[in-house]
Amino acid sequence: MADRPVLSLVNLRKAYGALVVTDDVSLDIPAGEFHAVIGPNGAGKTTLIHQISGLAPSDSGQILLDGQDVTRLSMPQRVSRGLVRSFQITSILPGFSALENVALAVQARSGSSFRFFGDAAKEEALNHPARAALAEVGLEARMHMRASLLSHGEKRQLELAIALAAQPRVMLLDEPLAGTGHEESEALIALMKRLKGRATILLVEHDMEAVFALADRVSVLVYGRVIASGPPQAVRENAEVRAAYLGEEELA
């Protein structure tokens, strides 16, 4: 595992009016690291992911991907460099089949989409990797179903399959376990374990058990500030973290 950071945040800031949501965040994530960001509701975790992925602009600071400044790039430009995200609030194409939702992510990275002839839905070169991604999240049996008809948990799995199919080098996952049932969440945690090392991952998650089982390092975000960052055990024992965020019993 190389030490050169794949993703660096340098003094990142963002405010909504008077509310500072991202307050001078700096973070280096080396290649292959599984990095978890935890913090109470409203701490600014989702906003941080919006900024890194390019969905929301930053007021100041820099985002470096492989040492290159991507702060001003659009979301699609960042995706083409391998920076892919998932959404806390499920974001899928409700009228498309599960397979087509994922096949579109494959299509985005497979040659030109300025092709006006030929049925895209029948392109095996797109459907094959899409089926593989669906199989990885355990949704293969549902591939021809309209995405809007999937259960909530299945939509969460689909969300992850779409991100996987984009073949990210850096993956930003915003609470992939939120709203999933026990079995689904076990399966997703197992999947994230398999992803470890394959991609650099920044995971936002409230499920502490999952975080401490998966993360190489953990950062704690409170009111937009990183108050602690380090190996899970150190963060778990950090007095400031205990005081500011985590209940003693949660960490026990």
Partner 1 sequence: MSAPAHSAAPPAPSMPTRRPVWAREALAVALFLALALIPFAAALGAESYLLSLCTRVVIFGIAALSLDLILGYGALVSFGHAAFLGMGAYAVGILSSHGIKDASLQLPAALAASALFALVTGALSLRAKGVYFIMITLAFGQMAFFLAVSLAAYGGDDGMTLSGRSRLFGFEWIKGDRAFYYVSLGFLVVCYALCRSLVASRFGRVIRGARENPVRMEAVGFPLFRYQLAIYVVAGAMCGLAGFLLANQAEFVSPAYMTWQRSGELIVMVVLGGLGSLHGAIIGAAAFLLLEEWLSGFTEHWKLIFGPFLVLVVLFARGGILGALDRVPGFRRWRGGHG
Ligand X SMILES: Nc1ncnc2c1ncn2[C@@H]1O[C@H](COP(=O)(O)OP(=O)(O)OP(=O)(O)O)[C@@H](O)[C@H]1O
Closest CA to 245 of 18, 15, 2, 39: 39
176 in contact with ligand X (CB under 6 A)? no
At its nearest, how many Å lie between partner 1 and the CB of residue 186? 21
Strands 83-85 and 170-174: parallel
Work out what residue 41 binds among Mg ion, partner 1, ligand X, none; the CB cut-off runs from 5 to 8 Å by kind.
ligand X
Question: Exposed, middle or buried, 220 (CB in 10 Å: 0-12/13-18/19+)?
Answer: buried
Query: Least CB distance from residue 87 to Mg ion, whole Å?
Result: 10
Which range of residues in 34-42, 145-153, 182-190, 193-201 is near ligand X by CB under 6 A?
Answer: 34-42
Distance from C-alpha of 216 to C-alpha of 218, rounded to nearest angstrom? 7
Q: How far apart are the first and last CA of the chain?
A: 31
Choices 2-10, 86-94, 158-166, 213-221; region in contact with Mg ion by CB under 5 A: 86-94
Residues 219/228, Cβ–Cβ less than 8 Å: yes
Contact between 46 and Mg ion per CB under 5 A? yes
Is residue 88 close enough to count as binding ligand X by CB under 6 A? yes
Does 22 help bind Mg ion (rule: CB under 5 A)?
no
Give the full edge-to-edge strand order of the sheet including 60-65.
19-30, 5-16, 60-65, 68-69
CB 226 within 8 Å of CB 220: yes
User: Does 42 participate in binding ligand X (rule CB under 6 A)?
Assistant: yes
> Is the CB of residue 221 less than 8 Å from the CB of residue 44?
yes
Asked if 84 and 54 touch (Cβ cutoff 8 Å), the reply is no
What residues between 8 and 27 interact with ligand X by CB under 6 A?
Answer: 16, 21
DSSP designation for 193: H
Please choose which of partner 1, Mg ion, ligand X, none residue 251 contacts, taking the beta carbon within 5 to 8 angstroms, the exact cut-off set by kind: none
CB nearer to partner 1: give 55 or 191.
55
Binding residues for partner 1, rule: CB under 8 A, are 53, 55, 74-77, 79-80, 84-85, 87, 91-97, 100, 104-105, 107-109, 112-123, 141-145, 149, 162, 166
- In three-state secondary structure terms, 180 is coil
218 binds ligand X, rule: CB under 6 A: no
Q: Does 53 bind ligand X (CB under 6 A)?
A: no
| Binding footprint of ligand X on the chain (CB under 6 A) | 16, 21, 39, 41-47, 88
